[in-house]
Amino acid sequence: MSMLLQEHVLAIPIGNLSERSSQALFDLKSDAIDLLSKAKAINDHLDRATELKFASRAHALRLAAGKDTGIVHFEDGPVQVTADLPKKVEWDQTKLAEITRRIAANGENPAQYVEVSYRVSETKFGAWPETLKSAFVAARTLKTGKPSFRLALVEGVQA
């Protein structure tokens, strides 16, 4: 999809686009997916180059500041660089459950120390008997996501 075609597609009102043939929508969507894929590959490639260029400098600044993670700022010529190395903490759920049981057994409230979250698998919920489901229905809210449509050419039909 050329830049001119991209601007042309964006200039067409959605109602007019929806009146195009399925084949035309398929072709435009395929071109857009190809363009998006190329743009993502270029962006990923540039991200790796940027990391290679600035990672050691950012690491040295974090060490100098006495931290392993977080944000550091520095200048490289006319460019202000903000390097962020976020923390990603994961907790062992089985061990946390045991710790909260011990806290409760000692007469303390585990909610003072940990946040507990409950989840129900929709597949399991759907398989429950109605008597069990009815106890949970008041706690369940169904929301929908963004609708999506996938276009594919029918076998034997050429573009």
Residues 116 and 58 in one domain: no
pLDDT digits (tens, 9 = 90+) for 74-121: 999 999 999 999 999 899 999 999 999 999 999 999 999 999 888 999
Check pLDDT > 80 for residue 38: yes
Residues 97 and 82 in one domain: no
Domain span at 55: 1-87
Residues 51 and 97 in one domain: no
71 occurs within a structural domain:
yes
120 occurs within a structural domain:
yes
Q: At 11, is the pLDDT very low, low, confident or very high (cuts 50, 70, 90)?
A: very high
Give the pair of three-digit tokens for residue 1. Answer: 């999809």
Neighbours of 61 (CB within 10 A): 18
CA distance 96 to 67: 26
Residues 94 and 82 in one domain: no
151 occurs within a structural domain:
no
Total number of domains constituting the chain = 2
Q: What integer best gives the mean pLDDT of the chain?
A: 90
